Chains A and B, each alone.
Chain A
Amino acid sequence: MEKRASRSRREFLKGSILSATGALGAAKMAAAVTGAPEPAIRLPEAFPTALNTPPKPAEFPMRGSQVFAKVCKNEGLAALFCCPGNYDVINSICEEGIPCFGGRTEGAMCAAADGFIRISGELAACSGTEGPGFTNMIMNIAAANAARTPLLVLASNKRVSEDDSEMGIQTAYQQPTTEGMRKYGKRLIDPNRIYEYSAYAFRQLRTGVPRPVHLDFPAEVYGAKFKDASELRYYHEKSKYRTESKPYPDPKRIRALAEMIEQSQRPMIVASTGVFYSQAWDALKQVAEKADIAVVESGVSRGQFSDGHRLSASTAPGALLSADLVIFAGQYSMPNVGEYHFGPDAQYVRIDPDAADIGRNMPIDLGIVSCEKAAMEALAEAVSSRRREAWVAELAAERKKFEDENADYYKTGLSYKDAVHPAVIAQQLSDFLYRGDLAKEQTTVVAGGYGIARYTRRYLRAYRPGQICNGAYQYGAIGPDCGYAFGVSAAVQLGAGAQAAYRGAPIIGITGDAGFAYSGMEIETMSKYKMPVVMIVYNNNAWGVQGSGRAAHMYLFQENLRYDRIAEALGAHGEYVTRPEEFLPALKRSYQIAARDKVSTVINCQAKREFWQRAQYPPGFLGKIEPGCMAYDH
């Protein structure tokens, strides 16, 4: 209140107007108050004109970039996220009619493509210029690699004929840079093999355990001219260069697993990334329901098994220790002993398409090499029908215990009146999304941030595949959140893959003030493309980890920074929330603006760094239990 009282009336009026209206109108009204002419933020006419220009797919004669773009189209590449650079390639992809988006940094566009894939299950690409644009993507390529995302990374790369000469600018050796953070990479050198290597790329992206694929294009390749197909090698239809066939499970091993389930009192399936990408959710549900097997989720996205199901253990962390048989399905990032909350007597089964990974980190009692969907379908046939009433009751009791604990945190959080506690944000967001006017399956959420995520993950729910994008999954990067939000919103606007039924709906993104700094400029990209994103920024004036003594300054920001005003200045709407009772009204306004006007919002939630101190502000910084709704290490 002191802060407010100290502001001049003119400042107060200006601030009120700015936060109460859309940014386009706000500029005009602010100008009226200050008397200074201030031009409105607006899109250049060329922008909608370009978006409305029909595609012009290439025909022979074609350049190398067009040949590549045509492969992308034929392979169903669902979107491209880029910044200028690698011009021939991105322009050719755009001309093929593939949805393309241009953002403010290559890094955030890389995250956007990753986010798009994580919640749609469709393939997407990112692109940047040779040296700087490519290296700007590095953190997010690594994050995509850790998340096992089938991300296509593209970049231009000068000329082969100028190798090592440092002629001009932007020289970089790209392939060694992505070594260790990709599944496959290639600098294309021979123009005649561009189609062949495009096939290599999609073969890797479409089969087995996914990871990024990195192609870099020297000018000799993207600019090469081909009169007809005879000038290209291995110019085949895609069924000739890759197969849709999946590895099917050994029937003996499926029978052995069915027997283990029969012997088990409290079986549990860990449904992870591979269940999502193989679209095994229906078969998973069939298996679980047939034999009363609990299902807990982990992985890059959530919702392959509904949190609302009686067999869900994703919000029943207390039940994990009771499981006597644990079946990992598509758990590509394997935890080590202790990282998952299973007891020392549990038996472990792993279902994975990659035999070479089975047995890594966690001991197995049975390994099954298989596509997750094929394994679930086979298991649904093999497993005996059985009711496990005591186990189902235990799951329900543990879910209730968890909800009661969350309710206690909320009650405590509400009692802190001078700033917005994370439990307040988490509970009220949860109420708004799942217990209000919206269908609980509707809204896709990017669960990002660091400390705030320790709370929001506990309260967010997933009722259908791809409903939650698990931001910091495995790599732990908090910076890509606004990038993820842009890509997730693009997928929802397009109705891509798993988002088809929710096409056009607003999405929610969550990040912290530290994370916002890395990709906050993409609020401008959201505004430009009219993406209905409500971005919640938890602003505690500091990094998530705190320093002490002489080192403390390195962990601190200025206090009361106005990320909402940054949003307004970038063409979005801004909300500033400083007290608990202000959050829900701000959320409702933001959602309405997003749904009605397709305008994004940043809700700047003013918190305090002391909220992580347990002694001062219980419950303080929260730990977590994995797998389940809190999981992001694995």
Chain B
Amino acid sequence: MITRSATRPAARNLSLEIISRQLESYAQRGVFRSYSRNADTFRFYWLWNLSFHLTYDVKQKALEFIKLFPNMVPGSDLEGELKAFIKQASSPDRPDHRRLDPRRLSIHYTNRRNAGSLKFLIGGNHHEYAVKQILNLVSEIFVGFLNVRYPDYMSKNFRMPEET
């Protein structure tokens, strides 16, 4: 008989391994330029060779990009538009294949000391779904939103060339 307390660590490890495997598959496919894992922290170079830092909190079942958006002034137009952009990820206006299911994954934006972070809470055991949706959303935020609407922010904070 497996006791409840005995299953917890195994389940935790399993979810971490699923996430790790899923992230690693992007590195193997060449989507990430490089990839490393240290316990529950993942680092990878992706999108114009930018460095991304993703952590997994097993207890909360939360994946978080801490300080993903540096120099984000609270209440600024940029932050307002960014929040709206994130919110529409689960909008019924989006095609089914791009719509985020809030029952399986919810998004929380926070701003501490002018740095925006994105935390994703995973519902149930939808870890694979979560990783896939998170990467798609972050890609969309950078390439389809910041790069289009705020190229000046990208050049100032992510060393994007001013003239491209």
A171 at the interface (CB under 8 A from B): no
Size band of the B side of the interface?
20 to 34
Q: Which of B48, B98, B143, B163 contacts A544 (CB 8 A)?
A: B163
**CB < 8 Å neighbour of B136 from A318, A344, A615:** A344
Instruction: Tell me the B57-103 residues at the A interface (CB within 8 Å).
Output: 77, 95, 97-98
Q: Which residue on B lies nearest to A624, using beta carbons?
A: B148
Name the distance in Å between B5's Cβ and chain A's nearest Cβ. 37
Q: Report how far A625 CA is from B144 CA in the complex, Å.
A: 7
B123: interface (CB < 8 Å): no
For B150-164 the 0/1 string (1 means CB < 8 A from A) is: 111010000000111
Confirm or deny: A91 has a beta carbon within 8 angstroms of a beta carbon on chain B: no
Docked complex Cα distance between A53 and B33 (Å):
61
- List the A residue with the shortest CB-CB distance to B50: A338
* Chief secondary structure at chain B's binding surface: helix
CA distance A343 to B77 in the complex (A): 26
Interface flags, B39-66, vs A, CB<8A=1, else 0: 0000000111110000000000000000
- Is B139 in contact with chain A by the CB < 8 A criterion? yes
Q: Cβ of B31 < 8 Å from any Cβ of A?
A: yes
**Pair B147/A344 contact, Cβ less than 8 Å:** no
Contact flag A336-B148 (CB < 8 Å), given A265-B97, A344-B31, A345-B132: no
What mask results when residues 296 to 337 of chain A are scored 1 for a CB within 8 Å of chain B, else 0? 000000000000000000000110011000000000000011
A321 near B144 with CB under 8 A, answer: yes
B59 shortest CB reach to chain A, Å: 27
Chain B residues, CB < 8 A from A344: 26, 31, 46, 132, 135-136, 139
Given A338-B47, A341-B143, residue A625 in contact with residue B148 (CB < 8 A): yes
Is there contact, CB below 8 Å, between B147 and A625?
yes
**Interface code B127-141, partner A: CB below 8 Å = 1, 0 otherwise?**
000001001100110
Q: Considering only CB atoms and an 8 Å cut-off, how many residues of chain A contact the other chain?
A: 31
Which residues of the partner chain B approach A545 to less than 8 Å between Cβ atoms?
162-163
At the interface, yes or no: A623 with Cβ under 8 Å from chain B? Answer: yes
A633 and B164 contact, CB distance less than 8 A: yes
Q: Which of A338, A450, A545: most chain B Cβ within 10 A? A: A338
For A265, what are the chain B residues with a Cβ–Cβ distance below 8 Å? 97
B162 neighbours in A (Cβ, 8 Å): 545
B113 within 8 A of A: no
Task: Tell whether A621 is near chain B: CB-to-CB under 8 Å.
Answer: yes
Q: B124: which A residues are within 8 A, CB to CB?
A: none
Partner of B150, one of A318, A623, A633: A623
Q: Bound complex: CA of A344 vs CA of B142, how far in Å? A: 13
Q: Which residues of A contact B95 (CB under 8 A)?
A: 322, 390, 394
B6-17: contact bitstring with A at CB < 8 Å (1 yes, 0 no)? Answer: 000000000000
Whether the pair A621, B163 counts as a contact (CB closer than 8 A) is no
Interchain CB contact (< 8 A) of A363 among B30, B49, B136, B164 = B30
**A344-B26, A623-B150 given; A338·B142 CB < 8 A:** yes
Query: Which residues from B are CB-within-8-Å of A418?
Result: none
| Distance of B93 from chain A, by nearest CB (Å) | 9
Residue interface mask A162-178, B partner, CB < 8 A = 1: 00000000000000000
Q: Which A residue sits closest to B145, measured CB to CB?
A: A623
A344 to B32 CA separation, bound complex (whole angstroms): 9
> Is the pair B31, A363 in contact by a Cβ cutoff of 8 Å?
yes
Complex: A343 Cα to B138 Cα, angstroms? 10
Q: A337-B47, A345-B136 are in contact. Are A621 and B98 (CB under 8 A)?
A: no
B46 and A476 contacting across the interface, CB-CB below 8 Å = no
Most buried by A among B33, B77, B98, B139: B139
A321 proximity list for chain B (CB < 8 A): 98, 136, 139-140, 144
* Set of chain B residues within 8 Å of A544, measured between Cβ atoms: 163
Within the complex, which residue of B31, B98, B163, B164 is in contact with A337, where a contact is CB–CB below 8 Å?
Answer: B31
Q: Is B4 an interface residue (CB 8 A)?
A: no
Q: Which of A390, A621, A625 contacts B143 (CB 8 A)?
A: A625
Asked whether any CB of chain A lies closer than 8 Å to the CB of B112, the reply is no
Distance between Cα atoms of A336 and B45 in the complex (Å)? 12
Most buried by A among B97, B149, B151: B97
Contacts of A343 in B (CB 8 A): 136, 139-140
Query: Chain B residues near A363 (CB, 8 Å)?
Result: 29-31
Q: Which of A362, A363, A390 has the most CB of B within 10 A?
A: A363
Encode contact with B along A469-506: 1 for CB under 8 Å, 0 otherwise. 00000001000000000000000000000000000000
> A582 at the A/B interface (Cβ < 8 Å)?
no
- A318: B residues at CB distance < 8 A: 144
Please give me the residue from chain B that is nearest to A265 by CB atom. Answer: B97
What residues of chain B lie closer than 8 Å to A336, measured between beta carbons?
48-49
A179: interface (CB < 8 Å):
no
What is the bound-complex CA distance between A362 and B132, given in angstroms?
A: 19
Residue of B nearest to A364 (CB): B30
Distance, CA A618 to CA B164, complexed state (A): 20
A339 CB-CB contact with B under 8 Å: yes
A32 within 8 A of B: no
- Give A338's nearest chain B residue, CB to CB: B47
A345: chain B residues within 8 A (beta carbon): 132, 135-136
CA distance A625 to B98 in the complex (A): 18
| A622 cross-chain contacts in B, Cβ below 8 A | 148, 151
Are the CB atoms of B136 and A341 closer together than 8 Å? no
> Beyond the given A321-B140, A622-B148, could you list 16 further A-B residue pairs with CB under 8 A, ordered by the A residue number?
A266-B97, A321-B136, A337-B30, A337-B33, A337-B47, A338-B46, A338-B49, A343-B136, A344-B136, A345-B136, A394-B95, A545-B162, A623-B147, A623-B149, A624-B147, A624-B148
28 CB contacts below 8 A, A to B, read A265-B97, A317-B144, A321-B136, A321-B140, A322-B97, A322-B98, A337-B31, A337-B48, A339-B48, A341-B144, A343-B136, A344-B46, A344-B135, A344-B136, A344-B139, A363-B29, A365-B29, A390-B95, A394-B95, A450-B163, A544-B163, A623-B149, A623-B150, A623-B151, A623-B154, A624-B148, A625-B143, A633-B164
* A→B interface (CB under 8 Å): 265-266, 317-318, 321-322, 336-339, 341, 343-345, 362-363, 365, 390, 394, 450, 476, 544-545, 614-615, 621-625, 633
Name the 6 nearest CB pairs between A and B, nearest first: A363-B30, A338-B47, A623-B148, A623-B151, A338-B48, A344-B135
